[in-house]
Structure formats: structure tokens, C-alpha cells
Amino acid sequence: MSLISHDNGGAASLTTNELPALLKQWMTLQDEMATLNAEVKQRRKTATVLKEMIMKIMVTHNLGQLNVSKGAVIRTTRETKESVTQDYLRKHCKEFFEGDATKADALLQFLNEHRGTKSVSTIRLVQTGDGGSQGSK
């Protein structure tokens, strides 16, 4: 399997004659990654269940550390910040403006209108029912 350079300098020399081979290689990689991602997802679920069971036992028996052959499993607790969602912002802006929902909504609208945007281009494979090809839109 050949690999294509990641720099854009080689893109100018590519021709449409190379497109079928590139598409085939890309679609094969997409299929392989989908299979691997499904396996990783299942293993993460299993690992999460096992971790929760281990943590429950450690909390129940007040164990801070378990020595194992590879080292030690240590139970730690940390504080995390709440997500900054629209509801969170609305609630706390209203609180900041001492219950004035109009000012809170105006601030949220201002922030939303002035949020930066970025454009990201990508390609994706859309499966068709008949296995045929689709043209560009």
C-alpha cells in the first residue's frame, strides 16, 4: 500500500486518472478504521464497567491504593468545572444582572453574534442502497 505525501505540493501533480485508486485506498482505510473504532468502543465500555466496579469496592472498603504486579492502582478524587452551556450562561448572567433577564439575554445574544467561525472542509462516504456511485453535488 502506498502512502501519499501530506504536503500540498504534490496535490498539484495529481490527476483524475489517479482518483479511482485513491478512492479505493481511502474507502478501504475508512472500513478498517470503522472496524477498529467499533472494537475500541466496546473495549472502552468494558473497561469503564470494570473501573466502576473496582472503584465501588475501593470506596466501600476505604482503600486508597491497591498494589498490583505492574505497580499500584490509586483512587483519587478531583473537582471539575461545570460545562459552559447556553443554559448555564443564561442562569448566571441573570444572577449577575440581579434578575434582569433582558440584560442577561442581550449579553448572550451579543456573545453569540460575535463568536468566531471557521470553515472546515472534509470528505465522507455516503453509502447508497444499490452500491452504485454518486456524483458530486
DSSP string computed for 64-99: SEEEETTEEEE------PPP--HHHHHHHHHHHTTT
Half-sphere exposure of 134 (CA within 13 A, CB side): 10
Whole-angstrom distance, CA of residue 78 vs CA of residue 29: 39
Whole-angstrom distance, CA of residue 111 vs CA of residue 105: 10
Look at residue 87 and tell me whether its pLDDT is greater than 50. Answer: yes
Whole-angstrom distance, CA of residue 122 vs CA of residue 7: 16
pTM above 0.75, yes or no: no
Sign of CA dihedral 4, 8, 12, 15: positive
The pLDDT score that the predictor gives to residue 34 is 96
The pLDDT score that the predictor gives to residue 4 is 53
Residue 54: alpha-carbon gap to chain centroid: 26
pLDDT tens readout for residues 20-77: 999 999 999 999 999 999 999 999 999 999 999 999 999 999 999 999 999 999 999 8
φ, ψ of residue 70 to 5 degrees: the values are: -95, 0
Cα-atom radius of gyration of the chain, to the nearest Å?
Answer: 26
